[in-house]
Amino acid sequence: MAKVYESITPELQRFLAAQPLFFVATAPLAGAGHVNLSPKGQACFRVFTPHRVGYLDLTGSGNETAAHLAENGRITFMFCAFQGAPRILRLYGAGRVVLPATDEWAAVRSSFPAVPGARQVILADIHRVQTSCGMAVPLLDYVGQRENLAVWAAAQGEDGLVAYRAAKNRRSIDGLAAPLR
């Protein structure tokens, strides 16, 4: 049974902090555009207030989330309990990108772990907090985070990451511009 909350409660914040994996969904306004759904890990999600969250976004093969947020701001986060009691928690909001070249970067970046390849911070003001049962979500054993991305990013160096982002992260798969530093 779904339940809607006024905000992220302390109990829900503890649930969020305990999950090693979450999903981020965004979409362009165009009906023919592609919905993006990305898994995230690396302990990079933070609750700043009962209505504001964010995550440290690492350099990746695309930059769909940033492009969609620049166009329309819509974002949904989903967390699933893969251990313990079943639960799904969705956070619906309006998101934006904070880039390293901005004044806001230092303030928000300090809330996250030092991880090679940090590209931007995604902040979202949450207007709907909803849980559902999650009884069909399988029980899974958590083994640990993969180190592949951190190793790759460290090997690229900052100049290599800037070049990679310029080549691979400028546009969404639907051609929308994605903000870069």
pLDDT tens digit string along 74-118? 999 999 999 999 999 999 999 999 999 999 999 999 999 999 999
Q: pLDDT-derived band of residue 180, with 50, 70 and 90 as boundaries?
A: confident
pTM, full prediction: 0.96
CATH hierarchy code of domain 3-168: 2.30.110.10
40-72: b or e for each residue (b if 16 or more CB lie within 10 Å)?
bebebbbbeebbebbbbbbbbeebbbbbbbbbe
pLDDT tens for 7-60 read 999 999 999 999 999 999 999 999 999 999 999 998 899 999 999 999 999 999
Domain ranges of the chain: 3-168
Report the Cα–Cα distance between both ends of the chain, in Å, rounded: 43
| Burial of 171 (C-beta count, 10 Å sphere; 0-12/13-18/19+) | middle
- DSSP assignments along 93-118, one per residue: EEEEEE-TTSTTHHHHHTTS---TTE
Q: What is the spatial distance between Cα 75 and Cα 87, in angstroms, rounded to a whole number? A: 20
* Chain Cα centroid distance, residue 105: 16
Long-range residue pairs from 158-165, CB within 8 A, at least 24 positions apart, any chain: 161/59, 161/117, 161/119, 164/59, 165/59, 165/63, 165/119
* Cα–Cα–Cα angle for 18, 20, 25, rounded to 5 degrees: 110
Coil, helix or strand at residue 166: helix
Q: Which residue has the tokens 């695309």?
A: 62
Coil, helix or strand at residue 126: strand
Q: What is the spatial distance between Cα 164 and Cα 144, in angstroms, rounded to a whole number? A: 27
pLDDT at 181 over 80: no
With contact defined as beta carbons under 8 Å apart, do 24 and 168 qualify? no
